[in-house]
Chain A
Amino acid sequence: MPEIRVTPLGAGQDVGRSCILVSIAGKNVMLDCGMHMGFSDDRRFPDFSYITRSGRLTDFLDCVIISHFHLDHCGALPYFSEMVGYDGPIYMTQPTQAICPILLEDYRKIAVDKKVVEITKHIHDNRALRYVELLPLSGTVQEPQSTSNAFTPPLTHWLLSPCILIPSACETPGTSPLMLVDDELEIKAYYAGHVLGAAMFQIKVGSESVVYTGDYNMTPDRHLGAAWIDKCRPNLLITESTYATTIRDSKRCRERDFLKKVHETVERGGKVLIPVFALGRAQELCILLETFWERMDLKAPIYFSTGLTEKANHYYKLFIPWTNQKIRKTFVQRNMFEFKHVKAFDRAFADSPGPMVVFATPGMLHAGQSLQIFRKWAGNEKNMVIMPGYCVQGTVGHKILSGQRKLEMEGRQVLEVKMQVEYMSFSAHADAKGIMQLVGQAEPENVLLVHGEAKKMEFLKQKIEQEFRVSCYMPANGETVTLPTSPSIPVGISLGLLKRELAQGLLPDSKKPRLLHGTLIMKDSNFRLVSSEQALKELGLAEHQLRFTCRVHLHDTRKEQETAVRVYSHLKSVLKDHCVQHLPDGSVTVESILIQAAAHSEDPGTKVLLVSWTYQDEELGSYLTSLLKKGLPQAS
């Protein structure tokens, strides 16, 4: 019995270190290879020893697919390839391949330089951040105990070489190109929204297929479109379920609120600080402000700190086909990521007078530039700080959001916060409705939930089973789900045969099965259905005729010819829609069945009817025999 087996090594009833093993029709595929942001020990990476205790990983895995550049989806790649030693193919989209190394390099720097660990910097999303709560409250983390796990500088550069790019599939969603891993395994990428270059993947072997969504967003935003999938009807859909129990408000209120607040502050002559993570939402907010500035003809400067973002922005400019309708259509006149109003930030600008808006990293105000600026501006009630994401307990961000107005800083200083503090959530995951929408669009046979909390998954699972009537699974890490499949086997049919069969009746009804005579030829691993003549010709065989003959004894005293005539008239009356003929030599034919009457050698009162038919006419032949055995009706 063929089956699909799925084992999450990470992200099973959990958020972080996404890593899912899928075996489909004898192929083993690993989906994502992420790290867990909440741990600093061995639990940080998926347990690759599950795949094989001994022997090379490369022999066990056919390929690895990375859905997007967030570290909880690709963070373990260096460890996986350099320490564990995988050197097989890794598939990802081009933007992911371009941006991923920047983030990894950034992460490595922090880990090695014993700086304040700002590991959460690249994470866009509130849920993933929950797990950072496990960090010590001071906001600093000790160097991980086993430095052997942290990779050494040169290792991050590997990424550019061995991975294979998946063609851009987003420009015209209808024509997602296929990518063949080998003769049987093929991968197809769909647009997923979420972040630049995020993709959903269909993994297909023969007629069996699995769709893995990675993270996706069903509502479009200012720089990315909405996730899209066709009715591909996979055997299994593996979907994230971060917001399994939430239905979100319209994004427009949020945007309007944000713009209004920034605008008011700037008009008052105040300064706005927006602490952000460097990638993803930062670009979204930049575009939002940029277009607003353009529309309203505002003059106040907008600054963006850190070099990392500059590099990333460069890639955003390049990968226009991956953005949304508006940017795609207008980039010929003007690339939206070539910001007119957003300029690079310099430390000195923080002290300059007049209104301004500054995006600064990190996003939780616990260190770095954003904190420095915050300290400078906190004392003025005209200023404002807007927190666009979740803040971990213990960080300055969390304190001010919970209403604290006096902050103790290092060196026993007390900072009084007079500036306004606002919170605004910009998130790029599908909500419960979006997940259901995607399931409805793809029409899978089974659904498997990952990347979410168990309690919330439970709710969504129940809903999916209830509304789509498909079975839904939510395995924990290390737990295996086995799905039996019944793959259909395609058989080629020759056109001649098809036409011949068609000619015999009306058009086939798509809903009803229909009987067809032909010869099945299995050659190499393909199947063909051809007419018997052609099969004989192809195989070089001579045709053998197989005839059944049967003698039926009839009690009839009359002459043979008369018996034949009686048989003829009897059959003629019974078999109205068949061609019954009386041949001059005294025999009777029904279609191709021959009936001859002869006198019995011993008993002249009994006539022997010889019935002969080929095996093709077996049905009619046996019917005739049974008919004749019943005897002829008495002539009136």
Chain B
Amino acid sequence: MRGENKMKELTSNSTTSISQARKAVEQLKMEAYMDRMKVSKAAADLLAYCDAHIGEDPLIIPVPASENPFREKKLFCTIL
């Protein structure tokens, strides 16, 4: 990567660096003009999702040991 940057310096007026600079400007324009939401609203949505699903989260609200195949004390057997 260092070798590449050195080349960029030496050929600073070449077409590749111009096209790269143009592409960088296009990319930044697109990113700068995108629609954004306030953090308060975005955070509220994250909270709402958590709230809605926390009841089903087996690592937070543990299901009974008999239903969690990993918490069962005995060796797991299937009846064939």
Tell me if chain B binds chain A.
no
Binding site for B on A (CB under 8 A): none
Binding site for A on B (CB under 8 A): none
